[in-house]
Amino acid sequence: MKEEQTSKSVNLKTLTKSTVWDVQENDIFRMLEAGEKDAETKENLRHYMDIIRSAFMIEELKDDDKIVKQKYTNQGYKVGSVKISDDAKIILAIKKRPISRVTDLTYENIRHITAAKLIEVLDRNFGGGWDSLSQSIQDIIESGFDISTTTLPKDRLHKKGGMYEKKVADGYEVLEVEKGTWVEAIFAKLKPEAVKPRMKFETHNEDDDEEIEDTYNRPDEDDDIVDEPDDDDITEDNYRTTFAIEDAPDDDAESYSDLIADE
């Protein structure tokens, strides 16, 4: 229910490389067609397409051939048309990028999979245990999941009242990696959403005020005092201002069709 509400509330302007993992193929079709009608969205088209491609594979079909459409459908793509003007439309095949290898994990998508899915991915890639993963992959996983490991002889791993039993009871998913007569158990549990702390304002009692002399900008006795120049001393030869020049918007991107194949 939460995912459905999120999908309906997200549009191209609010889409990020994190929230894009919450939406599905049908949502992408809806947002693309709605965005084509918005002038501001069209000006930032390349940016939005880059965000979508971070989570979805997109192919433009050159014609409405049923055989070609069925080919993409068989590969798990959602095929549909997007109206880009009153008398023109394009046919797209869209598919969310799979997360099947540890190298598919990113800081943007790590919180959009379950602990069971993570264990499945680890199981597909494992050989040497948790330490066999690169530090960068471990950091990504631990940004979204609580991870703990233990290595014990096979006959002791499932000892009643032991760590294995306690972790499973606490909601952890577990992967067992055999190492000869020993087994490494990797426990994973999705971290709760971080709660941003609210600012706390202390009550102020005016009766407690005590005037404190500000001596921060007062020069010490040993400092050499340099007179500040008067406004009359400023001339066009010694006055300079600095200002930022913003880049002009990308006027070359005129439609979604121009950007579909722009990888």
pLDDT in tens, 93-125: 999 999 999 999 999 999 999 999 999 999 988
At residue 33, the pLDDT reads 86
Q: Which of 63-67, 102-106, 157-161 has the lowest mean pLDDT?
A: 63-67
197 has a pLDDT exceeding 80: no
CA nearest 116: which of 166, 157, 191, 174? Answer: 174
| Mean pLDDT, the chain, whole residue set | 80
SS3 48: helix
Measured distance CA(157)–CA(183) in Å, rounded: 7
Measured distance CA(153)–CA(73) in Å, rounded: 47
- Name, of 76-90, 142-156, 185-199, 211-225, the range with top average pLDDT: 142-156
Confidence of residue 132 (pLDDT cuts 50, 70, 90): very high
Q: Give the percent of the chain with pLDDT over 70.
A: 70
pLDDT tens figures, 199-236: 444 444 555 455 545 554 555 555 554 455 555 554 55
What's CA 145's distance to the chain center, in Å?
A: 15
At residue 125, the pLDDT reads 83
Average pLDDT over residues 141-165: 95
Cβ atoms 34, 11 nearer than 8 A: yes
CA nearest 47: which of 23, 22, 17? Answer: 17
198 has a pLDDT exceeding 60: no
Place of tokens 């190492």: 179
More confident residue, 81 or 63: 81
57 has a pLDDT exceeding 80: yes
**DSSP of 141-173, one letter per residue?**
HHHHEEEEEEEEEHHHHT-TTSHHHHHHHTT-E
pLDDT tens figures, 232-263: 554 555 444 444 444 444 444 455 566 665 55
Q: What are phi and psi of 173, to 5 degrees?
A: -90, 150
Q: Which of 87-91, 159-163, 230-234 has the lowest mean pLDDT?
A: 230-234
